[in-house]
Structure 1
Amino acid sequence: MVPDWFVPGAAAAEFWTAERCFITELLNTSASPEVSLAIARVEPGVTTQLHCLAGVVERYVVRRGRGVLEVDGRRQPLMAGDQALIAAGAAQRITNDGSEELEFYCVCTPRFTPDCYVNLEDEGNETN
Protein backbone atom coordinates (compact mmCIF):
# COMPACT_ATOMS: atom_id res chain seq x y z
CA MET A 1 0.00 0.00 0.00
CA VAL A 2 1.28 3.47 -0.93
CA PRO A 3 1.50 5.89 2.02
CA ASP A 4 -0.80 8.95 1.90
CA TRP A 5 2.23 11.30 2.15
CA PHE A 6 3.73 10.00 -1.11
CA VAL A 7 3.15 11.85 -4.39
CA PRO A 8 4.41 9.89 -7.41
CA GLY A 9 6.70 11.70 -9.79
CA ALA A 10 5.37 12.63 -13.17
CA ALA A 11 7.26 13.63 -16.27
CA ALA A 12 7.37 17.40 -15.81
CA ALA A 13 6.73 18.67 -19.31
CA GLU A 14 7.48 22.29 -20.12
CA PHE A 15 4.57 24.21 -21.64
CA TRP A 16 4.07 27.65 -23.22
CA THR A 17 1.72 30.10 -21.47
CA ALA A 18 -0.21 33.17 -22.59
CA GLU A 19 2.01 34.96 -20.08
CA ARG A 20 4.75 34.77 -22.78
CA CYS A 21 6.98 32.30 -20.97
CA PHE A 22 7.53 28.58 -20.58
CA ILE A 23 6.59 26.81 -17.33
CA THR A 24 7.60 23.46 -15.89
CA GLU A 25 5.55 22.53 -12.85
CA LEU A 26 7.65 20.55 -10.38
CA LEU A 27 5.11 20.47 -7.52
CA ASN A 28 1.49 21.49 -7.86
CA THR A 29 -1.04 19.11 -6.37
CA SER A 30 -4.13 19.28 -4.23
CA ALA A 31 -2.27 16.91 -1.87
CA SER A 32 -0.06 19.90 -1.00
CA PRO A 33 -2.38 22.94 -1.09
CA GLU A 34 0.01 25.13 0.91
CA VAL A 35 2.72 25.43 -1.79
CA SER A 36 3.61 24.95 -5.45
CA LEU A 37 6.96 25.00 -7.23
CA ALA A 38 7.66 25.65 -10.90
CA ILE A 39 10.48 26.74 -13.19
CA ALA A 40 9.76 29.69 -15.50
CA ARG A 41 11.81 30.27 -18.64
CA VAL A 42 11.75 33.62 -20.45
CA GLU A 43 13.47 34.04 -23.81
CA PRO A 44 15.85 36.97 -24.48
CA GLY A 45 14.06 40.24 -25.21
CA VAL A 46 10.67 39.03 -23.90
CA THR A 47 8.59 40.78 -21.23
CA THR A 48 6.00 38.62 -19.52
CA GLN A 49 2.38 39.64 -19.24
CA LEU A 50 1.52 42.18 -16.55
CA HIS A 51 -0.46 40.20 -13.98
CA CYS A 52 -1.09 39.56 -10.31
CA LEU A 53 -1.86 36.48 -8.26
CA ALA A 54 -4.95 36.99 -6.12
CA GLY A 55 -4.41 35.60 -2.63
CA VAL A 56 -1.06 34.00 -3.51
CA VAL A 57 2.44 35.12 -2.48
CA GLU A 58 5.09 34.31 -5.10
CA ARG A 59 8.84 34.02 -4.65
CA TYR A 60 11.35 34.02 -7.48
CA VAL A 61 14.78 32.43 -7.18
CA VAL A 62 16.85 33.09 -10.31
CA ARG A 63 18.67 30.01 -11.66
CA ARG A 64 20.36 31.55 -14.68
CA GLY A 65 20.29 34.59 -16.90
CA ARG A 66 19.30 38.09 -15.96
CA GLY A 67 16.29 40.34 -16.14
CA VAL A 68 14.40 43.26 -14.72
CA LEU A 69 11.49 42.48 -12.41
CA GLU A 70 8.72 45.04 -12.06
CA VAL A 71 6.45 44.84 -9.01
CA ASP A 72 3.77 47.50 -8.54
CA GLY A 73 5.66 49.84 -10.88
CA ARG A 74 9.07 49.49 -9.18
CA ARG A 75 11.85 47.88 -11.20
CA GLN A 76 14.75 45.81 -9.92
CA PRO A 77 17.49 44.05 -11.92
CA LEU A 78 17.87 40.36 -11.08
CA MET A 79 20.64 37.88 -11.86
CA ALA A 80 21.48 34.27 -10.96
CA GLY A 81 21.14 33.73 -7.22
CA ASP A 82 18.88 36.74 -6.62
CA GLN A 83 15.50 36.28 -4.99
CA ALA A 84 12.31 38.31 -4.95
CA LEU A 85 9.26 38.16 -2.69
CA ILE A 86 6.11 39.29 -4.48
CA ALA A 87 3.11 40.04 -2.27
CA ALA A 88 -0.30 38.62 -3.08
CA GLY A 89 -2.16 40.93 -5.46
CA ALA A 90 0.96 42.87 -6.55
CA ALA A 91 1.14 43.77 -10.24
CA GLN A 92 4.18 42.01 -11.70
CA ARG A 93 6.11 41.17 -14.85
CA ILE A 94 9.69 40.39 -15.75
CA THR A 95 11.81 41.31 -18.77
CA ASN A 96 14.71 39.21 -19.97
CA ASP A 97 17.21 41.93 -20.89
CA GLY A 98 20.09 39.49 -21.37
CA SER A 99 21.38 37.46 -24.29
CA GLU A 100 20.60 34.04 -22.76
CA GLU A 101 17.41 32.53 -21.42
CA LEU A 102 16.25 33.70 -17.99
CA GLU A 103 15.22 30.84 -15.70
CA PHE A 104 13.84 31.12 -12.20
CA TYR A 105 12.01 29.03 -9.64
CA CYS A 106 8.49 30.19 -8.76
CA VAL A 107 7.40 29.23 -5.26
CA CYS A 108 3.75 30.05 -4.54
CA THR A 109 1.95 29.99 -1.20
CA PRO A 110 -0.71 28.81 -1.17
CA ARG A 111 -0.24 26.79 -4.34
CA PHE A 112 -0.81 28.34 -7.76
CA THR A 113 -4.13 27.58 -9.42
CA PRO A 114 -5.32 29.14 -12.68
CA ASP A 115 -8.19 30.97 -10.95
CA CYS A 116 -5.72 33.10 -8.91
CA TYR A 117 -4.09 34.51 -12.09
CA VAL A 118 -5.33 37.98 -13.08
CA ASN A 119 -4.24 39.34 -16.46
CA LEU A 120 -3.79 43.09 -15.92
CA GLU A 121 -3.04 43.83 -19.57
CA ASP A 122 -6.63 43.02 -20.54
CA GLU A 123 -7.76 45.67 -18.06
CA GLY A 124 -5.91 48.42 -19.92
CA ASN A 125 -3.10 48.64 -17.36
CA GLU A 126 -0.30 47.98 -19.84
CA THR A 127 2.52 50.43 -19.16
CA ASN A 128 5.45 48.95 -21.06
Structure 2
Amino acid sequence: MTEDRQAIVFANGSGEFWTEERCHITELHNCDASPEASLALARVEVGITTQLHSLTGVIERYIVRQGEGILEIDGVKQKLRVGDQAVIPADAAQRIENTGLVDLEFYCLCTPRFFPEAYVNLER
Protein backbone atom coordinates (compact mmCIF):
# COMPACT_ATOMS: atom_id res chain seq x y z
CA MET A 1 0.00 0.00 0.00
CA THR A 2 1.43 3.38 -0.91
CA GLU A 3 1.77 6.17 1.62
CA ASP A 4 -0.94 8.32 0.03
CA ARG A 5 -3.48 5.49 0.46
CA GLN A 6 -2.85 4.87 4.17
CA ALA A 7 -4.99 6.45 6.84
CA ILE A 8 -4.87 6.06 10.57
CA VAL A 9 -7.79 7.57 12.44
CA PHE A 10 -6.98 8.32 16.04
CA ALA A 11 -9.65 8.24 18.75
CA ASN A 12 -11.22 11.63 19.28
CA GLY A 13 -12.48 10.87 22.78
CA SER A 14 -15.89 12.43 22.11
CA GLY A 15 -17.79 9.50 23.69
CA GLU A 16 -21.54 9.07 23.76
CA PHE A 17 -23.84 12.02 23.09
CA TRP A 18 -27.64 12.58 23.13
CA THR A 19 -29.44 13.41 19.89
CA GLU A 20 -32.79 15.03 19.09
CA GLU A 21 -33.64 11.66 17.55
CA ARG A 22 -34.25 10.51 21.17
CA CYS A 23 -31.25 8.20 21.38
CA HIS A 24 -27.62 8.19 22.45
CA ILE A 25 -24.90 7.88 19.78
CA THR A 26 -21.23 6.93 19.99
CA GLU A 27 -19.48 7.54 16.69
CA LEU A 28 -16.95 4.77 16.19
CA HIS A 29 -15.83 5.73 12.68
CA ASN A 30 -16.84 8.79 10.68
CA CYS A 31 -14.09 10.76 8.98
CA ASP A 32 -12.94 12.37 5.74
CA ALA A 33 -10.41 9.56 5.23
CA SER A 34 -13.28 7.07 4.77
CA PRO A 35 -16.17 8.79 2.94
CA GLU A 36 -17.62 5.47 1.78
CA ALA A 37 -18.89 4.42 5.23
CA SER A 38 -19.38 5.34 8.87
CA LEU A 39 -20.05 3.24 11.96
CA ALA A 40 -21.80 4.25 15.18
CA LEU A 41 -23.27 2.59 18.25
CA ALA A 42 -26.83 3.70 19.06
CA ARG A 43 -28.50 3.28 22.45
CA VAL A 44 -32.26 3.68 22.94
CA GLU A 45 -33.56 3.74 26.50
CA VAL A 46 -36.35 1.41 27.69
CA GLY A 47 -39.79 2.47 26.46
CA ILE A 48 -38.47 5.08 24.01
CA THR A 49 -39.29 5.30 20.30
CA THR A 50 -36.85 7.23 18.15
CA GLN A 51 -37.94 10.10 15.97
CA LEU A 52 -39.46 9.22 12.60
CA HIS A 53 -36.79 10.24 10.12
CA SER A 54 -35.01 9.42 6.87
CA LEU A 55 -31.43 9.69 5.65
CA THR A 56 -31.13 11.34 2.24
CA GLY A 57 -28.92 9.25 -0.03
CA VAL A 58 -27.62 7.06 2.83
CA ILE A 59 -28.24 3.32 3.26
CA GLU A 60 -28.20 2.33 6.92
CA ARG A 61 -27.65 -1.13 8.41
CA TYR A 62 -28.54 -2.01 12.00
CA ILE A 63 -26.92 -4.89 13.87
CA VAL A 64 -28.53 -5.46 17.30
CA ARG A 65 -26.06 -6.11 20.11
CA GLN A 66 -28.33 -5.79 23.18
CA GLY A 67 -32.04 -5.70 23.92
CA GLU A 68 -35.00 -5.91 21.60
CA GLY A 69 -37.27 -3.60 19.73
CA ILE A 70 -39.59 -2.98 16.82
CA LEU A 71 -38.09 -1.38 13.74
CA GLU A 72 -40.42 0.47 11.37
CA ILE A 73 -39.34 1.10 7.78
CA ASP A 74 -41.80 2.90 5.49
CA GLY A 75 -44.69 1.82 7.73
CA VAL A 76 -43.69 -1.87 7.92
CA LYS A 77 -42.84 -3.06 11.44
CA GLN A 78 -40.48 -5.92 12.32
CA LYS A 79 -39.34 -7.17 15.72
CA LEU A 80 -35.56 -7.27 16.23
CA ARG A 81 -33.46 -8.91 18.93
CA VAL A 82 -29.78 -9.61 19.61
CA GLY A 83 -27.92 -10.65 16.46
CA ASP A 84 -30.63 -9.53 14.05
CA GLN A 85 -29.68 -7.22 11.21
CA ALA A 86 -31.69 -4.81 9.11
CA VAL A 87 -30.95 -2.91 5.91
CA ILE A 88 -32.73 0.43 5.68
CA PRO A 89 -32.85 1.85 2.14
CA ALA A 90 -31.76 5.41 1.48
CA ASP A 91 -34.59 7.93 1.94
CA ALA A 92 -36.85 5.41 3.78
CA ALA A 93 -38.95 6.63 6.71
CA GLN A 94 -37.66 4.86 9.80
CA ARG A 95 -37.81 4.64 13.58
CA ILE A 96 -37.19 2.03 16.26
CA GLU A 97 -38.96 1.37 19.56
CA ASN A 98 -37.26 -0.25 22.54
CA THR A 99 -39.76 -2.87 23.71
CA GLY A 100 -37.37 -4.69 26.03
CA LEU A 101 -36.35 -4.47 29.68
CA VAL A 102 -32.83 -3.12 29.02
CA ASP A 103 -31.42 -0.40 26.79
CA LEU A 104 -31.54 -1.34 23.11
CA GLU A 105 -28.07 -1.11 21.55
CA PHE A 106 -27.26 -1.55 17.88
CA TYR A 107 -24.50 -0.75 15.45
CA CYS A 108 -25.36 1.64 12.61
CA LEU A 109 -23.31 1.18 9.46
CA CYS A 110 -23.98 3.92 6.92
CA THR A 111 -22.98 4.03 3.26
CA PRO A 112 -21.91 6.53 2.24
CA ARG A 113 -20.86 7.92 5.62
CA PHE A 114 -23.41 9.70 7.79
CA PHE A 115 -23.42 13.48 7.81
CA PRO A 116 -25.94 15.64 9.71
CA GLU A 117 -27.25 17.26 6.50
CA ALA A 118 -28.61 13.85 5.40
CA TYR A 119 -30.93 13.62 8.43
CA VAL A 120 -34.57 14.55 7.73
CA ASN A 121 -36.97 14.86 10.68
CA LEU A 122 -40.31 13.48 9.46
CA GLU A 123 -42.22 14.43 12.63
CA ARG A 124 -42.29 18.14 11.83
Q: Same fold, TM exceeding 0.5?
A: yes
The Cα shift of 1:10 comes to: 2.3
Equivalent-residue separation in structure 2 for 1:29 and 1:5 (angstroms): 10
TM-score, structure 2 as length reference: 0.94
Find the counterpart in structure 2 of residue 51 from structure 1: 53
The whole-number CA distance in structure 2 between the counterparts of 1:98 and 1:107 is 23
Q: CA deviation at 1:6?
A: 1.4
User: 2:43 pairs with 36, 41, 54, which one?
Assistant: 41
Tell me which residue corresponds to 1:75. 77
Counterpart of 2:13 in structure 1 is 11
Contact 1:12–1:26 (CA under 8 A) maintained in structure 2: no
Q: Distance in 2 between matches of 1:7 and 1:120?
A: 33
Deviation at 1:103, TM superposition (A): 0.1
How far apart are 1:5 and its partner, in Å? 1.6
CA contact (8 A) 1:63 1:104 kept: yes
Percent of pairs identical after alignment?
A: 62
How many angstroms does 1:94 deviate by? 0.1
- Between the aligned partners of 1:62 and 1:12, the Cα distance in structure 2 is 22
Residue 31 of structure 1: aligned partner? 33
Cα distance in 2 between the residues matched to 1:54 and 1:121? 16
Query: TM-score scaled by structure 1?
Result: 0.91
CA-to-aligned-CA distance 1:47-81 (integer Å, 9 cap, x gap) = 00000000000000000000000000000000000
Contact 1:45 / 1:95 at 8 angstroms: preserved in 2? Answer: yes
The one-letter amino acid paired with 1:92 is Q
**Structure 1 runs not aligned, ≥5 long:** 123-128
Q: CA RMSD in A?
A: 0.9
After TM superposition, list the pairs within 5 Å mapping 1:76-95 onto structure 2.
76-95=78-97
In structure 2, how many angstroms separate the alpha carbons of the residues matched to 1:77 and 1:116?
26
Q: Residue type of the partner of 2:73?
A: V
> Aligned-pair distance for 1:12?
4.3
| Ranges of 4+ aligned residues in structure 1 off by more than 6 Å | none
